[in-house]
Amino acid sequence: MIRAIKFILLLNFLFCFSANAHYYSESFSTWEINNNEVSGNFSVLEIESTRILNIGKYRDLAVQDKLSETMVFKKYLEDHVIVLSKNKICPLKKPSEFTSQKEGFVNILMTFQCSSNTDIKIINNAFFNLIQSHVHIARVYDGKEILTEKALFFNDQTIEINPEQKELEFNFFKNFYNFLKSGINHILNGFDHLIFIVGLLILINGIRNLLVVITGFTIGHSITLSLAALEIMSPNGILVESIIGFTIMFIGAEYLIQKTNKYFVTNIFLTILIASLLILNIFTNNSFSTILLLGLLIFSLGYFFLHRSINKKNNLLIMITVLFGMIHGLGFGSYLVSTGINNSNIITALLGFNLGVEIGQIIFVLVILSIVWMLMQLRLNKIIELIKNFSFMLVTTMGFFWFIQRLII
């Protein structure tokens, strides 16, 4: 077992150097057309905006001209977002400006003056030259009506609009369907959420127990998704993503306790947290992150103390799953708010997106259970056990990586 733990820690360091290349990258924008004026509000996580410092031209602006990272990003955005009207470039009407932003995000408003409001094209090249897997979600309004919405990819970075030829009325069912697709895509592309579900699958024995735990996770994330989307709660996006990494790592520690029936793993788990705290103090002066780590440390001590003291451990696990579901729900909610939903369609967005997340989650669980069932029918129990052990290493390693990377880097 000690060898297994050493192997896991080795994998942690390997992932810290290599996994960044596979980090999920996304940005959002909402556009409005008023007469000949085209305005776009561009939103992206702060950590995403720092990617541009890998480009020499913009790195020099930060170093030589001593511009802040956000000012350099604003310059980068002005260079990579183009608006055309009848194939003529629309100039910026005024300098781009920062708008009121949610903590952890950068929001920049760009206003273009066009000669006409017909045959408009918005070309967004931002981030695609840095990471080809980047996804940009754009939504275009004409007043309060949604003209169109589109996901931009490396091979398709253009939105074409003609307000004089409006699409069919953006009714409830069309709006619901769009958010339903968005929810399915988000969960199936959200590798951290999927790996958390993998952790639950290897941890829980029995279909009945699995249904109870998955239901608890669903209830938890549905509550906080709604609260975040309605802006009753406004969590820090980066810290939420970091805590999601913690929940994944925590599930890995729980599985190791269940597997070995020994509690020495608790000390190892807490040591990792303390080491993380020390690293944070060395490389940053972020007191809020330090407080967060201390809170997680106290939470872990309390949980494992209860774990050793009570007999009905399944009940404790269900409560923890609901709590962790609420953390993941804050992540879903931050994403949904960032897509630019407005008050007129927020209920539709909530219903469609949440249902899409559930459908995507069910699809993923059914695929995994189908594979396990086929292996059981073939009586390949050793392979099933091998897959569970590998999944445990994957869950623990990626949880540790995401926790540290999102909190510190």
Is pLDDT above 80 for 167?
no
Task: Give the pLDDT band of residue 263 (cuts 50, 70, 90).
Answer: low
Is pLDDT above 50 for 1?
no
Q: What is the mean pLDDT of residues 131-143?
A: 78
Half-sphere exposure of 112 (CA within 13 A, CB side): 25
Type of residue numbered 68: S
- Reported as a single tens digit per residue, the pLDDT across 169-227 is 445 676 787 788 878 878 887 888 899 999 988 888 878 888 888 888 999 999 998 88
Is pLDDT above 50 for 407?
yes
Q: Give all strands of the β-sheet with 158-161 in edge-to-edge order.
A: 88-89, 81-85, 120-124, 158-161
For residue 43, give both structure tokens.
Answer: 């939103």
Task: Give the pLDDT band of residue 72 (cuts 50, 70, 90).
Answer: confident
Q: Lowest-pLDDT range, 100-104, 224-228, 247-251, 350-354?
A: 100-104
Q: What is the mean pLDDT of residues 324-331?
A: 90
Which of the pair, 101 or 69, is modelled with greater confidence? 69
Is pLDDT above 70 for 283?
no
Q: Which residues contact 250 (CB under 8 A, 6 or more apart)?
A: 269, 300, 320, 324, 399
Between CA 247 and CA 119 the distance in angstroms is 48
- Reported as a single tens digit per residue, the pLDDT across 8-37 is 444 444 444 344 433 457 788 889 888 889
Taking each helix axis from N to C terminus, what angle separates 287-309 and 313-338, rounded to the nearest 10 degrees?
150
In this structure, the number of other CB atoms found within 10 A of the CB of residue 78 comes to: 15
Task: Give the pLDDT band of residue 109 (cuts 50, 70, 90).
Answer: very high
- Reported as a single tens digit per residue, the pLDDT across 349-396 is 888 888 999 999 999 999 998 988 888 888 888 888 888 888 888 898
Query: What are the extents of the domains in the chain?
Result: 29-170, 183-408
CB 56, CB 63: distance < 8 Å? no
pLDDT computed for residue 2 by the predictor:
43
pLDDT computed for residue 197 by the predictor:
92
Which of the pair, 284 or 152, is modelled with greater confidence? 152
| H helix intervals, 284-380 | 287-309, 313-338, 346-377
Is pLDDT above 60 for 129?
yes
pLDDT computed for residue 82 by the predictor:
92
| pTM to 2 decimal places | 0.70
CB 39, CB 115: distance < 8 Å? no
User: In whole numbers, what is the pLDDT of the chain averaged over residues?
Assistant: 79
In this structure, the number of other CB atoms found within 10 A of the CB of residue 79 comes to: 13
DSSP state, 55? S
Is pLDDT above 80 for 304?
no
Between CA 148 and CA 155 the distance in angstroms is 19
pLDDT computed for residue 285 by the predictor:
61
For residue 212, give both structure tokens.
Answer: 């109870």
pLDDT computed for residue 11 by the predictor:
45
Which of the pair, 335 or 360, is modelled with greater confidence? 360
Is pLDDT above 80 for 278?
no
Between CA 407 and CA 409 the distance in angstroms is 6
pLDDT computed for residue 350 by the predictor:
85
In this structure, the number of other CB atoms found within 10 A of the CB of residue 6 comes to: 10
Between CA 403 and CA 397 the distance in angstroms is 10
- Burial of residue 209 (CB within 10 Å: 0-12, 13-18, 19+) is middle
pLDDT computed for residue 342 by the predictor:
61
